[in-house]
Every structure is written in C-alpha cells, then in structure tokens.
Amino acid sequence: MHDITSLNPSSTPAVSDIIGTVVAVQANFYQVRLDQPLINLNDSPISHLLCTRRTRLKKIGQQIMVGDCVTVEEPDYQDARGAIAKVFPRKTELSRPPVANADQILLVFALGEPVLEPWQLSRFLVKAESTKIPFLLCLNKADLLTSDEKKKWQERLSRWGYQPFFISLRTCQGLDEVRDSLKRKISILAGPSGVGKSSLINALIPQVEQRVNRVSGKLQKGRHTTRHVELFELPEGGLIADTPGFNQPNLQCHPSQLIEYFPEVRQQLKQETCQFSDCFHREEPNCSLDKNWERYEHYLTFLEEAIRQQEASRKMGEQESTVKLKFKASGQEYYEPKLETKKYRRTSRREKHQNLQELYENQSLEELERLQDD
C-alpha cells in the first residue's frame, strides 16, 4: 500500500521492520493492517495487529490517525498484538475528519430523496477544494431523474467546472466506474447524511455490512449512521474511509483564498489581474473578475462568512479569551465560558510542606534571638 521511496530517506524503514496502515482508532488502541502478513506458529497468516502506542510517542505529542503509515514492534503472534513505535511523515492530513495520507476524496450527493440543494452542494465543493486533495463528485439515485433532468444537472455542473459520476445503488448504474477510480488509493467518502454513503460501501464491499438508515419522511433529511472514521479494504485493492456525516462543513479559509476554490473563474483570474492585490472581487474598482456566473452569489455569501471568522480570530488574539471554541456532533461551532480554575486550585503537598518548613525556621530564629537578648 505504501510507496517507501516516497518517504523521507532518513525515515526509510529497514527490511526487517513491520510496516502497516492504521485502519481504525478506538480509545488508546489502533488496528493496523500489515503490508506483509506475519506467519504465526500454526503457519496461519496474521494480516492485522491490535496495537498500543509507545510512551515516547505520547510524550512528544505524536498523534496517530487513521491512514498513518507506522512501524510496529514486539508483535505477539498468539494474540495478534503489537506496539506502534514510529509514524512516518504524512503526505496529506485532514483534521476533520481525522485522516492521514488520503489520495482523494469521493464526495457523494443524492439527486433526490433528499432533493439536491445547490447551495449545500456548493458549500461541500468549496470545502473539498480547500483541502487541496483531489476529489471526485458522485451523484447517487440517478434512477429518480429523467434523462432530460440528468442532462440539465450535467450541463450545470460542467459550467461549475465538474464532471460528476451519475450512479444508482438501486440499479447498480455507474458502480464499475467508481470501483476503477478507487483502485490502489486511500479515499475519503464524504457528503451529507442520507445520500447513500454507507450503502455505497456495502455495494463496493458486501462483507462490511454498514448500518444504513432511511431518510426522514417529513424533513427529507438524512440521519447519521456512521459514528467514527474507519478504513475498509476494497476487493480490488485500495482503502476507503467512511466519515461521520455532517450537513454544514466549516469553511475555514482566508477571505483572499476563497475565490481560488471556484474552478469556473480560476482560469480568468490567471489571465487577468485586478488593480488591487487584496481585491475581494465585490465592488472594488477595476476588478477583473466577470460577475456573470451562477455561483457568484454563493461566493459573496461564503466570503462574508470567511471575513467574520477572520475578524473573530483577530479579536480573540488581541486579548485573552474568556471562552473556548467547541464543536457539536454536526460540525457546528459554538463557544462556552472557560472555568477559572486558579481560584479553586488546591495547594500541593510539596507547597504545604515548604510553607510549614519556612514557618518553623522563622519561629526558631525568633526564639534564638529572644534567648540571646535575655
């Protein structure tokens, strides 16, 4: 799975090292899929080891993520256990969802049930563009649309700069093309809830049997079925990660970078230059950007959000914050007050002992001086 020559020369493993990929993380345990299976005393192959991590990795703050290429030491052939001793440099890294070394993102949406909403799709596309990881757009439930409706979506997305896969898990339409695109790669499956991500994994890897929920009848919204990130091995080679669904991904980027995440205008910006280098392409004079494109309104809305986030970050940096940033399960941000722990901190035993010792010494010195005076 791993191309050892792509790693740092100083980090190249020895021939005898046991190398593998972290495919699941739960509490302080890591499931590692080995590049080369081990043979136990019964001549049976061991393809996975349940590992802990070395204390030295914890001391240096080395986080271990799904997708990490690692070295395993002291394998226990009887219980299929080991200890992660080293994490190799990552070629890509995502914090939300926490996945390392992904080659591509497979962004999945549904054309119906729930209805495809252009604003939500645009938001996911911008988020995917901001990761700088190549991605594919996959539109499920194509059987619910007529050929004319599907053609209109194809032409519309082509103007946006994308050529999507049209698939149907009900009729197996387009699944072969998706399988070919996933071969020998680590892929991240992403998209809102209820669009068929877990069903797609079940179709690609029947033995996985991912839990699937139906779409809510009243609201036509998906329900979350995936609870944690895990890599599944594809029959024809490659790994795919099903990530917990969320409806509104955070657009955390600098306002000046946002326009780069709209491929329909990237080429125009390369050919023409605005008068001001910090142009936001709104009402600035001598702006070179043509405003006559469908997602321009999307861009302006996302830009205002990015500017608000930047202003909030600046204010937080100017003064010590009394609140801390938290995230809900849906990915939505919120703030809660920090606790003033210093006021309620207990005095340590060592500090108490030092105070008593100083008091004793001071009292002894005063007693000695009194005797001398007498």
The answer to whether 50 touches 80, Cβ cutoff 8 Å, is yes
Same domain, 85 and 99: no
Same domain, 217 and 170: yes
Picking from 91, 126, 142, the residue at the C-terminal end of a domain is 91
What residue has token string 């093309």?
177
Residue 352 in any domain: the answer is no
**Phi, psi for 333 (deg, rounded to 5):** -85, 150
Picking from 305, 322, 339, the residue at the C-terminal end of a domain is 322
Distance CA 295, CA 297 (A): 5
**Other CB atoms within 10 Å distance of the CB of residue 262:** 22
Same domain, 199 and 112: yes
Same domain, 219 and 130: yes
DSSP string, 282-340: SS-TT------STTHHHHHHHHHHHHHHHHHHHHHHHS--SEEEEE-TTS-EEEEEPP-
Picking from 39, 67, 91, the residue at the C-terminal end of a domain is 91
Distance CA 120, CA 228 (A): 23
Question: CATH number, domain at 116?
Answer: 3.40.50.300
Quick one: tokens of 158?
């082509």
Q: List the domain range (segments joined by +) for residue 161.
A: 95-242
What local confidence, expressed as pLDDT, does residue 4 receive?
37
Q: Which helix (H) or strand (E) holds 179?
A: helix 175-182
Distance CA 131, CA 281 (A): 22
Averaged in consecutive runs of 10 residues, what is the pLDDT profile of the chain (374 residues)? 45 67 92 90 86 93 94 90 95 88 95 91 94 95 94 96 95 94 94 88 82 46 57 92 66 90 92 88 90 95 92 71 62 65 62 68 57 53
Which three-class secondary structure state does DSSP give residue 58?
helix
Same domain, 123 and 44: no
Same domain, 50 and 85: yes
| Chain centroid to CA 320 | 28
What local confidence, expressed as pLDDT, does residue 250 receive?
80
Same domain, 18 and 104: no
Same domain, 141 and 273: no
Residue 312 in any domain: the answer is yes
What local confidence, expressed as pLDDT, does residue 270 receive?
86
What local confidence, expressed as pLDDT, does residue 65 receive?
94
Residue 360 in any domain: the answer is no
Residue 9 in any domain: the answer is yes
Same domain, 68 and 99: no
The answer to whether 24 touches 231, Cβ cutoff 8 Å, is yes
Residue 355 in any domain: the answer is no
What local confidence, expressed as pLDDT, does residue 364 receive?
58
What local confidence, expressed as pLDDT, does residue 369 receive?
57
Residue 267 in any domain: the answer is yes
Angle at CA of residue 233, ends 95 and 47, nearest 5°:
105
Distance CA 203, CA 295 (A): 33
Residue 250 in any domain: the answer is no
| Most distant pair of Cα atoms in the chain: their distance | 112
Residue 348 in any domain: the answer is no
The answer to whether 134 touches 140, Cβ cutoff 8 Å, is no
Same domain, 121 and 233: yes
Quick one: tokens of 210?
């991912």
| Amino acid at position 300, single letter | L
Same domain, 180 and 206: yes
**Other CB atoms within 10 Å distance of the CB of residue 106:** 23
What local confidence, expressed as pLDDT, does residue 86 receive?
95
Quick one: tokens of 328?
């809900």
Enumerate the β-bridge partners of residue 242.
Answer: 189, 230
Among residues 209, 245, 237, which one has the least CA distance to residue 21?
Answer: 237
**Phi, psi for 366 (deg, rounded to 5):** -65, -40
For the full predicted model, state whether its pTM sits above 0.85.
no
What local confidence, expressed as pLDDT, does residue 121 receive?
95
Same domain, 77 and 130: no
Structurally, the chain folds into a number of domains equal to: 3
Question: CATH number, domain at 55?
Answer: 2.40.50.140
